[in-house]
Structure 1
Amino acid sequence: MSAVPATPHAEGNHVEFSSADERPASGGSGDGCGCGSACGCGGTARAEAVADGGATPANVDSEGTLGDLTFTEPKADASQDVDDGAPAERVGVPDGVELDTPGYSIRAEMNDIETPDEKTWFMELDEAVIGDDRCIQCGTCVAACPSDSIGIGDDGLPKLVKMCTGCSLCWDFCPRGGLRYERQWKITGGEDNASGAGDPITEFSATVEEGWRENAQDGGVVTSILIHLLEAGEIDGALIATESEEDPWRAESFLATTPEELIENAGSFYNQTMALGNLDIGQWEDELPNEDPEDLSLALVGTPCEIEGIRALRDFEWDYASQEAGVRAVEYTIALMCTKNFNYERLIGEQLQEKRGIDPAEIGKLDVLHGEMMAYGHGGELMVEEDVEDFHDAALKGCDECADFTGYCADLTVGSVGSSEEYSSVIVRTKKGLDAWELAAPDLDYHDLEDRSAIGGLQSWDKKKAFESLERPFDPDAPRFIDYTDHADRYDTERNPHEADH
């Protein structure tokens, strides 16, 4: 079995800084810092970390460190998780409309009531997340829709493509809307973290010594693991990203089913692909011509928010219409360490091409390392090297609310922070992740993780940033789903946009 590795194009940017001292200073006030010296404040600010919503985050200490992630039961009478049984009848279908969708009964059962007091429509998601520039382009809403009413627009954002049924699932599963992502960490982890999330099982710094790795990111470990999973028959393909044929450096979702395809797509893009909105197996018929969709096993490489989304979707036995087979097929998840993602037009078009005169077609590799955004030509020459904060206007606003730098819900997490140049840091979180690692390990050069403190420092900084940006309390013990009306009150958005003249 040959070793063939390199990090495949990630579904989005995984901006990292190689040590706690090299990350940007927080944009918040110094006296509100809760992460101690790890945030760059020099340890002078020791106030308790508090979200803008005004509530002290549960399970987080005064230095911004998340406590025990093992599963705990939610507060009494507060859970919106699914109970056994189904509502007696479908509710709320508009008069004269015939819709073969389980949408209304889904919402009813999720809230443990037969008839919901209020339905949540796509218009609410559009108002509070997409229209408010908080969308992180993970694609979870597209995958969740049981009537295939949500598609992907030309701008890479979710759009309504046919009548919304008001089932509420797009809102419920959105990591910037109704999904309390920190609660998902604990639900995924379970009592002993055996099924995902929480404390690492083991950690390594690893690399692959292969000539083709020159265009890969860091140590090339992700592709090595995926190829070994393919060759062992554990997966039929991996959802990664490829470069658009029309637009240089625009990432598009791609289902790789051969080692050659994984190697060809080595490297990282720095924009999202709406990955979870591309789980319709029908669109990959050419890649999987002889496979029964119900028997497929796939790996998903993505940012932490995408992993949170797929974990939440798989927790429920709903029919996700055209995305159903793809959602159920994801058996392995690999998260890329991530602090922020970028909008393609803003990063490539405005920041690099217009402001800096860089022709996207001349870029051979993009990288973010040591807090610097770097662009190289096809011959390896350095074209741009600037502080990543100079590109802040191109970043997705919703990323500021994320406290999950290391992908708590993933089987494996991979990134550059904590390891020396040309090595990847690998965090193994689950038994499934350990099995995948052990397949690839014989063909890797690896040793114990070099610098755990660098990862911990950046994780603390990421949490502090999220606590300052969130308008709601950060609480891993609260119910998994957040009602739209509660969100609207916190974020001061329109409570009933579907009734307004939009």
Structure 2
Amino acid sequence: MGTDENGDDRPNRHLPGVPESDDDEAVVVPDAGSAAPRSRDGTDHARDGAIRTDGADSSADAGDGCAPDACTCDEKSTAERGSKPVVTDGAGVANVDDGGELGDLEFTDPAENVSQDVYDDAPDTRVGVPEGVDLETPAYSIRSEMNDIETPDEKTWFHELDEAVIDEGRCIQCGTCVAACPSDSIGVGDDDLPKLVKMCTGCSMCWDFCPRGGLRYERQWKITGGEDNVKGAGDPITEFSAKVDDDWTDGAQDGGVVTGILATLLEEGEIDGALIATESDDEPWKAESFLATTEEELIENAGTVYNQTLALGNLDLKQWEHKLPEKEWDDISLALVGTPCEIEGIRALQDFEWDYQAHDEGIQAVEYTIALMCTKNFNYYSLIGEQLEEKRDIAPDEIGKMDVLHGKMMVYDHDGEMILEEDVENFHDAALKGCDECADFTGFCSDVTVGSVGSSDEYSSVILRTEQGVNAWELTEPKLDYHDLEDKSAVGKLQGWDKKKAFESLERPFDPDAPRFIDYTDHAENYGTALNPHDQGH
């Protein structure tokens, strides 16, 4: 026996974790102070009615809390416990014997017809459900459940874009928001409109780059093309009326110039592919994005379809890797054919060295842009389904070619016979509403603009705007029959009409000298849309 500093006798025993030594001064044992011996009844672990495996009374009057053959408070000597090591969790587990073996447990059956919930109030009052909202309805979204989370003022979410552009029918289906999202959170829904497919981070980029949202497109004209490019046709480098003199142009739009330029760029090794539109295999006359990498593919898809493909949302090169074998993505060069709004979008994206995630390599790969003259585009289902098939009894599979020329919608059969010629304004209900706000008929941000206005039948009007555009023209020139643009005034008049229409439709000031990006709060003030729709269970 030994004596502690208070004079109490205690057994001489080996302390766990303390090395044996002949030199008592070499061993330093922490002072236990006046700590009381540990027993189950003297700790926070003690509880009334603890389950015992030895049949002993577990009440407070039954003893010191140790089972006769399983001391867990360390008050019994080694001799009293025997030679077996005691295996416990340090808190006196009631169903573990001195050899560490688990014993049987007896459980008390829960009382019948009595709630086991620890709360007395109803669940829907604990989670903070807004008044009038049913927990079972889909409208009770994840964000509605994230109570007491304040949104920083500088954040703009996809919900703002949805509120102000998509839900308002102003989306022009360019796909810029899909390409801009740095978390790949935006996809395309069954209705061919952008939709949120993952949690939005509130980075603001989908809003900032949308030509009907935060992108002041008229400012982008000046940033891309310089001061002269805001005045319309006549200021670009030069203009021609041209056509490709080849048999395959019979199925092309007007003179087949777009296909001719792209085929030449492929042949000369200037590009590895061109993002164009192709007709859907499942739905006649519905346009889909397609990466053409051969002249044959370009010729097969020559012609125009009058609905958008969300082209910029198809710049993820993984989507096309089967067409670009053994090619390093950093070395890929592409041409993009699109409407003026799509060209505005790609130019704005390329102005910033940000990481656009899945679409980043594709965005940077676009080196040639060709804009198609455009006053409006159409919703596929409204134009082909409602206007042509239902109202005019023209089935989609009867259509061989479509054109919008001289203010007329023209539809031809597969033999080239015209089966419809009607004022295009009669199809206004099928047009994309956001097109009314566009003042960019001739594609101010493009390298090359191509259309039919200003040239005679079978010729295309061609406007060269950049040195890159001139390079494409010079490579293609030997294959072209061309002369000076026949009617510059026709292009100018239609451009003026398009601007007038846009000024009537825009709810915000048109100002090429204002900042490129429009704050959502400014847009909401001009258009009357809701502020902070993401906080309203949108």
1:247-396 correspondence to structure 2 within 5 Å: 247-396=283-432
Tell me whether 1:227 sits opposite 2:246 in the alignment.
Answer: no
Aligned residue number for residue 476 of structure 2? 440
Corresponding residue SS for 1:334: strand
Give, in whole Å, the separation in 1 of the partners of 2:322 and 2:412: 33
Distance 1:404 1:312 in 2: 15
Partner letter of residue 478 of structure 1?
A
Contact 1:224/1:440 (8 A) holds in 2 = yes
1:74-95 CA-partner distances (Å, limit 9, x unpaired): xxxxxxxxxxxxxxxxxxxx9x
Distance in 1 (alpha carbons) for counterparts of 2:244 and 2:430: 32
Instruction: Identify the residue that residue 224 of structure 2 maps to in structure 1.
Output: 188
Indicate if the aligned counterparts of 1:198 and 1:409 stay in contact, CA closer than 8 A. no
Q: 1:300 and 1:179 mapped to 2: Cα distance?
A: 20
Cα pair 1:207 1:221 within 8 Å, conserved: yes
| Paired AA for residue 362 in structure 2 | G
TM superposition shift of 1:199:
2.7
Give 3-state SS (helix, strand or coil) of 1:286's partner.
helix
CA distance in 2, matches of 1:187, 1:372: 34
Partner of 2:48: none
Aligned 8 A contact 1:189 1:198 in 2: no
State the aligned residue count. Answer: 388
- Give the structure 2 partner of residue 428 of structure 1: 464
1:128 to 141, 164, 167: 164
Q: Match for residue 455 of structure 1?
A: 491
| Aligned-residue CA RMSD (Å) | 1.8
Q: Residues 167 and 350 (structure 1 numbering): CA distance in 2 closer, same or farther, change over 3 Å? A: same
SS in 1 for 2:410: strand
* Aligned counterpart in structure 2 of residue 179 of structure 1, from 215, 218, 223: 215
**What does residue 184 of structure 2 align with?**
148
- Report the secondary structure of 1:350's partner residue: helix
Contact 1:183 1:478 (8 Å CA) reproduced: yes
Aligned mates of 1:417, 1:379 — CA distance in 2: 24
Is residue 185–residue 198 contact of structure 1 (8 Å, CA) maintained in 2?
Answer: no
**Which region of structure 1 is more displaced relative to structure 2, 207-216 or 123-132?**
207-216
SS in 2 for 1:300: strand
Shift of 1:501: 2.2
1:246 equivalenced with 2:301 (yes/no): no
2-structure distance, mates of 1:215, 1:190 = 36
In 2, Cα distance between the equivalents of 1:477 and 1:192? 13
Please state whether the residue corresponding to 2:323 is helix, strand or coil.
coil
Q: Does the C-alpha gap of structure 1 residues 191 and 418 become closer, same or farther in structure 2, counting only changes over 3 Å?
A: closer
Letter in 2 for 1:208: V
Alpha-carbon separation, structure 2, partners of 1:376 and 1:199: 35
Structure with higher RCO (Cα < 8 A, 6+ apart): 1
CA contact (8 A) 2:245 2:479 kept: no
Q: Note the C-alpha offset of 1:477.
A: 0.3
1:409 to 431, 442, 445: 445
Q: Structure 2: which amino acid aligns with 1:200? A: P
Distance 1:168 1:118 in 2: 9
Q: Which moved more, 1:204-213 or 1:446-455?
A: 204-213
**Structure 1: 5+ residue runs without aligned partners?**
1-93, 98-114
> How far 1:292 sits from its partner (Å)?
0.9
Q: Which residue of 2 aligns with 1:164?
A: 200
SS at match of 2:213: coil
In structure 2, stretches of 5+ residues that fail to align are 1-142
Larger Rg: 1 or 2? 2
1-structure distance, mates of 2:386, 2:228: 47
- Counterpart of 1:492 in structure 2 is 528
Q: 1:226 to 1:116 in 2, by over 3 A?
A: farther
Mapped partners of 1:253, 1:336: distance in 2: 15
Percent identity over the alignment is 78
> Using the alignment, how far apart are the partners of 1:198 and 1:254 within structure 2?
32
TM-score, normalising length: structure 1: 0.76
Deviation, 1:213, is 1.1
1:118 deviates by 2.3
Whether the 8 Å CA contact 2:241–2:459 is kept in 1: the answer is yes
Q: TM-score of the superposition, structure 2-length normalised?
A: 0.71
Alignment partner for residue 470 of structure 1, among 495, 506, 509? 506
2-side partners of 1:149 and 1:448: how far apart? 47
Shift of 1:403: 0.4
Q: 1:381 Cα shift?
A: 2.0
| Partner residue in 2 for 1:85 | none
SS state at 1:301 partner: strand
Alignment CA distance shift 1:198-1:377 (3 Å): closer
Distance 1:277 1:287 in 2: 18
Equivalents in 2 of 1:381, 1:399: separation in Å? 30
Q: Which residue of structure 2 aligns with residue 71 of structure 1?
A: none
Matches of 2:197 and 2:287, distance apart in 1 = 22
- 1:73-152 equivalence runs, <5 A: 117-152=153-188
Change over 3 Å in CA distance of 1:491–1:192 after alignment to 2: closer
d(CA) in 2 for partners of 1:323 and 1:200? 30
